[in-house]
Amino acid sequence: MNKYEVLYILQAEQDEEAIAAQIAKYGSLITDNGGTVDEIKEWGKRRLAYPINYRNDGFYVLMNFSAEPGFTTELERNFRNDENVMRFMVLRKDD
């Protein structure tokens, strides 16, 4: 299993329960596919460097996890299909 880091930005206009539900959804997606979530850091609401779809603020989440190499494509597919995810980036960490 490889170690990964993903940073994703959620729409900040949502209420706290909706944001917490999305964070839990992506954490459970990893564990349901045989991975482990090492750490989740909620950076909170921050101003974006440039507007994305006419929005100036986003809710940043940094998650470290371990998973099989092919799982990242499934995770990225889920991020692309979620209309509340503004941007995301998945990186493989060196051991």
Name the CATH topology of 2-92. Alpha-Beta Plaits (3.30.70)
Amino acid (one-letter) located at 1: M
- Per residue in 27-82, pLDDT (tens digit) is 999 999 889 999 999 999 999 999 998 999 999 999 999 999 889 999 999 999 99
The residues spanned by each domain of the chain are: 2-92
Q: Is 52 helix (H, G, I), strand (E, B) or coil?
A: strand
Which tokens in the block code for residue 72? 């990242």
pTM: 0.89
- 27, exposed or middle or buried, with CB in 10 Å at 0-12, 13-18, 19+? middle
